[in-house]
Amino acid sequence: MRHGPRFIDLFAGIGGVHIAFTNAGAKCVFASEYNERARETYIYNFKKNNPELFEIARSADSAEMPKFYGDITKATALMRKGIDPIPDFDVLTGGFPCQPFSQAGLRKGLEEARGTLFFDILQILKTKKAAGKPVKAFFLENVQGLLNHRSGDQLTIQVMERRLKRLGYTFAVYKVRASDFGVPQHRPRLFLIGFFDHEAAKRFVSPSKKKLRKGTLSRILGGSVDREIGWTLRVGGRGSGLHDRRNWDTYLVDGIPLRISSVHGLRLQRFPASFRFPPTVTETQRMNQLGNSVAIPAVQAYAEALLKALAH
């Protein structure tokens, strides 16, 4: 029986990558997100259209086998014991935690617990390959600070590249700005993409940039704004004000300072109009979740290109 491309959504946040890859034609068959409030938002928005993702199967010995994990390390721990709780899939996606590599974090990289989550990605790829069902491609997202971060005397990105190539994957790094894909915020990011089939890698074509429509930021904020491209949404540190060099959440709209809300944040990340936060999630938590999320059009453009390369 033929099926469309399947992907897993690791470090899923509130589902920006989920939406992007689903829009590109793939189906999510497994996900994980550690933060409890982000999990609530994820379930609130995706359970209706993808109920199978939230079912809990049982193994031969009656152990629970969820498809939506809170802690991905529990799944990879089972893999190390010879038990594979993850359904077979085609593309691994993951916006793995960026704090270990960002200017806002301690920049400890792979030495920090969150940084070692990269090795859980490797474990999943390794397990599927050993079972004769190698994952066809991966899409990883992180901050651009990753490029200059060092693990000991080596660049962290080089350690990652070497480990992935050792498993048989190609490895390519793309510098992407959300504003290059019609989103009115800078949001510079790295997309790390690789294929198990090296011919598919040759077929991959980076998507063309899309012109940002004039006045988009003004429409989102409901008045005339003195800039075309907004600040990059961040996690925490709100309320610094217009004249603070760290300001990212306050704009001059029709000459009056406006501190953006989660309603604006959803639009800045280009979440669909149907997307909602559950009532249990506070405004501060909503802004944090949006700051941790992705600019959907940028991810979707690369998702479409990736799936097209696999389709031949």
Rounded CA-CA distance 137/92 in Å is 6
pLDDT for the residue 106: 42
Confidence of residue 1 (pLDDT cuts 50, 70, 90): very low
Regarding pTM above 0.85, the answer is yes
Average pLDDT over residues 131-156: 89
Q: Rounded mean pLDDT of 14-40? A: 97
Burial of 311 (C-beta count, 10 Å sphere; 0-12/13-18/19+): exposed
Residue 245 neighbours by CB distance under 10 Å: 5
Average pLDDT of the chain?
90
In the numeric block, the tokens 């989550």 are attached to 117
Q: Strand 150-151 relative to strand 250-253: parallel, antiparallel, unpaired?
A: unpaired
> Where does residue 163 rank: exposed (0-12), middle (13-18), buried (19+ CB within 10 A)?
middle
Which three-class secondary structure state does DSSP give residue 58? strand
The full set of domains in the chain, from first to last, is 6-212+287-311 (3.40.50.150), 216-281 (no CATH)
pLDDT at 109 > cutoff 60: no
| 98 classed as catalytic | yes
Q: What is the C-alpha to C-alpha distance for residues 11 and 87, in angstroms, rounded to an integer? A: 17
Among 98, 146, 192, 298, the active-site one is 98
Mean pLDDT in residue range 64-87 = 92
Q: Residue range 288-312: average pLDDT? A: 96
Q: Is the pLDDT of residue 107 over 50?
A: no
Residue 301 pLDDT: 98
Q: Note whether 164 and 194 are within 8 A (CB).
A: yes
Q: What is the pLDDT, as a whole number, of residue 60? A: 61
Taking only the tens place, the pLDDT of each residue in 222-273 is 999 989 999 999 987 676 778 888 899 999 999 999 999 999 999 999 999 9
Q: Is the pLDDT of residue 160 over 70?
A: yes
| Mean pLDDT, range 276-305, rounded to an integer | 96
Per-residue pLDDT at 172 exceeds 80: yes
